[in-house]
Amino acid sequence: EIGFGYGQNLRYLSQQQPDAHIVGLEISNVCLVKAEGAIARGETPNVRVVFARAEHALHHLFTPASLDAVHINFPDPWFKSRHEHRRLMKRETVDILVNRMKPGALLHLATDILEYAEMSAEVLADTPGLTNQLDTPWVNTLPGRVQTKYEKKAQRVGRSCYYFALQRNEQPG
């Protein structure tokens, strides 16, 4: 999971897939400490967390076709144009992400920012290595999700959420 926040989804993934090796990437020390505490208490024995920007971790920690799934929940939209280079869902990052995913691997993205959803939809639609699993670029509800801190906050203040589900296909990444 990229940007796991307080780790609700990491805990869910750990419980649902006890034989999987789950890696969480995060740049917030507060979030890392919370996740490390859960690991130390034995709540998430198959989870490891890494303090790293996703772009760097994808390039240096994972080999091509090594990821079974990628979860990106409510990434920072970096609204200011001078911060645009920090946005996660951009061509360079999506390309390395696709390269690191195994054929058949799933990519789950959630955001509560319409502009970010639109930008992501455009980048993802232009990615030959991914096949949309939905009838539309995104949906506003996705049953079976564990709600994250940011998702609950968005819904509490009345913002819509946008959920993406894509699968890595056989095209070269």
What residues are labeled active site? 76
DSSP three-state, residue 144: coil
Q: Are strands 101-111 and 67-73 parallel, antiparallel or unpaired?
A: parallel
- Residue 5 burial (CB < 10 Å; 0-12/13-18/19+)? buried
Helix axes 29-40, 8-16, angle to 10 degrees: 30
Instruction: Give φ, ψ of 150 to 5 degrees.
Output: -70, -35
